[in-house]
Amino acid sequence: MAQREDWIPQNHMGSIVLIRPGLLRKIIVRAGHLGLGLFLRFKATNGYLGSMRTVHFAHWAFANNGSRLMFFSNFDQSWESYLDDFIEKAHEGLTLAWGCGVGFPPTRLLIQDGASHGRKFKAWARHSMSISRFWYSAYPDLTVDQIERNNRIANGLCRASLSEKKAQYWITDL
Amino acid sequence: MKHSGKSSGNWKLTGTHAEQAQGLVVSGFSDLPTGRALFLQFQWLDQPQGQDVQGRSWLDRLQDIAPITSASAKSNPAAAIAFSFTGLQKMGLSEAALNSFSAPFCEGMFQEDRLRRLGDRRKGEWCKTVICGGPRWSGNTPQRGAIGGVEESHARPLTSTGHIEEQSPTPLTVHALLLLYDSDEAAADARARTVTDLLAEHSVAVVHRLPLELRVENGLAREHFGFADGISQPIPFDNAGAVRPGGAASPPDRFHGVPLGEFLFGHANGHHEQAPGPLLPKGAVVGKTVTLDPHPTAEGMLDLGLNGSYMVVRELKQNVPAFWDSMKAGAALIRRRDPDDSHDVTADWLAQRVVGRTRDGDLLCPAGFPVAQERPARQ
């Protein structure tokens, strides 16, 4: 997998895991993903995923009649630092989303432990990865921070006028 | 933000941990401002490894003239030692023990994916940040699917895709690094000479050397461009009691506190687990005196790594004249474009903004507003 990574500033992770069987597990995982999706729609509206400033895109989907969980993501810099970010800043969300996977490190109360077992989680996530033959990146040479900055500059240019203070902040982006 | 130029925390390792860990882990030896780094190559052909006529090994002899400083007490002069993968291999460490080290150590700095990640080499070409002709020294760690032609090379299994990794051998192979710290140049030179002569008797050659300088001025150590260095030092903490903070027990430092396991094997790290270190199978040390403890979780294994650590050594070059020429040109350009409001724009002014700190290490506020202040609301 490492042979396919770090050719451009962005990398891609494609992973597919089996979901543990059982009706209760199925209800929990569906509700968890629905809740997480709604919460992030409300919370992550500024172009960043919480305090993580390296994620371009992340997508979970149920496949194979709901028996497998698929995850795709584009991110800046190396896979290791991406996973470290997840483990340190978003391990609860990650445990909720992936805790149903076969082989996931033991969890407590749905969101505790799990992904915070850094090394075990990394090993599991690495082995869950499968090769993506094709992946798309709109700006393959830019990081999330650079894209956001360009966006702020473009938005400023589109406005008819700016207050002095806002213009002062806009100019710091140039 | 003012600082004293020294570590803001006073911490020590306790008991046996302090005796087992190297002094370099707890101290930068700031009272020993000079020294020499000796890069060693083991040139003995076969075992017994570098033994003299009395059967004493090079490490025993080295301990007599340059004892490796432990973390338990101050020492003047001081010394530290580190081994590369190929060094440990040459010293006869078993394959099983070698494979228990972490992947970056076993793969080496010249593993092709690591070279690409670090921006050193892409598609068979050294990047322009690397000196002409490629690096001069490395551990020359064998890559997977190695096909020979490199000293130390032996076949390692292929990757799962059958890929043969590119070999990027350097002219010099480094098996160990010996760091000698002294109080003055003359003493450093004399000790480096004595050590070099002694090691030569044991077929251990010094193949590369670098001076170690702290460049302390008014209590501030400076890096080559002239900016204060070593400003922010971590202060390790350990809930199991392996660290004794200065004075009474105190909670982890809010800004500088880092779990001890991030530095030393065998202690709790930031992921709430014991930092995994190398292991030694019990059967591998028959007939030798073993002072290692059994590993707490790996059954049948000895804890080879306890209180040890990994060290990364990269030799970097800073082009000081080119940096300051570029700052001068940049400052001149700003003054020319905006002659009315740029009287204070000098090369120094610009360099401080490039680095983000004043030359003495005081923090500049990014973008002209205080750090704690939020950016204005989005439009």
Structure tokens at B180: 């000698």
B379 touches chain A (CB under 8 A): yes
Pick from A4, A5, A6 the residue to mutate for testing the B interface (most B CBs within 10 Å): A6
Q: Give me the pLDDT at residue B340, please.
A: 86
User: Smallest CA–CA separation between A113 and chain B, in Å?
Assistant: 10
Asked if B113 and A6 come within 8 Å (Cβ–Cβ), the reply is yes
Please count the other Cβ atoms lying within 10 Å of the Cβ belonging to residue B61.
20
A8-55 pLDDT per residue, tens: 889 999 999 998 888 888 888 888 888 888 888 887 777 777 778 888
Asked if A87 and B271 come within 8 Å (Cβ–Cβ), the reply is yes
Enter the pTM of the model: 0.83
Average pLDDT, chain A: 86
Q: Give me the pLDDT at residue B377, please.
A: 43
Q: How many residue pairs bridge chain A and chain B with CB atoms within 8 Å of each other?
A: 39
Instruction: Please determine, for residue A87, whether its predicted confidence score (pLDDT) is greater than 60.
Output: yes
> Cα–Cα distance between B372 and B64 in angstroms, integer?
54
Q: Give me the pLDDT at residue B47, please.
A: 57
**What angle do helix axes A91-98 and A79-89 make, rounded to 10 degrees?**
100
Q: Give me the pLDDT at residue B55, please.
A: 61
Q: Give me the pLDDT at residue B246, please.
A: 58
- The percent of residues in chain B predicted with pLDDT above 90, rounded, is 41
Q: Give me the pLDDT at residue B144, please.
A: 79
Q: ipTM of this predicted complex?
A: 0.78
Q: Which is more confident, B195 or A90?
A: B195
User: Smallest CA–CA separation between A158 and chain B, in Å?
Assistant: 11
Q: Give me the pLDDT at residue B48, please.
A: 53
CA nearest to A122 within chain B: B271
- Collapsing DSSP to helix, strand or coil, A108 comes out as strand
- The percent of residues in chain A predicted with pLDDT above 90, rounded, is 14
Asked if B271 and A172 come within 8 Å (Cβ–Cβ), the reply is no
- Segments of chain B with pLDDT less than 50: 1-8, 151-153, 247-248, 368-379
> Cα–Cα distance between A118 and B262 in angstroms, integer?
13
> Cα–Cα distance between A64 and A25 in angstroms, integer?
16
Q: Which is more confident, B107 or A88?
A: B107
Q: Give me the pLDDT at residue B373, please.
A: 41
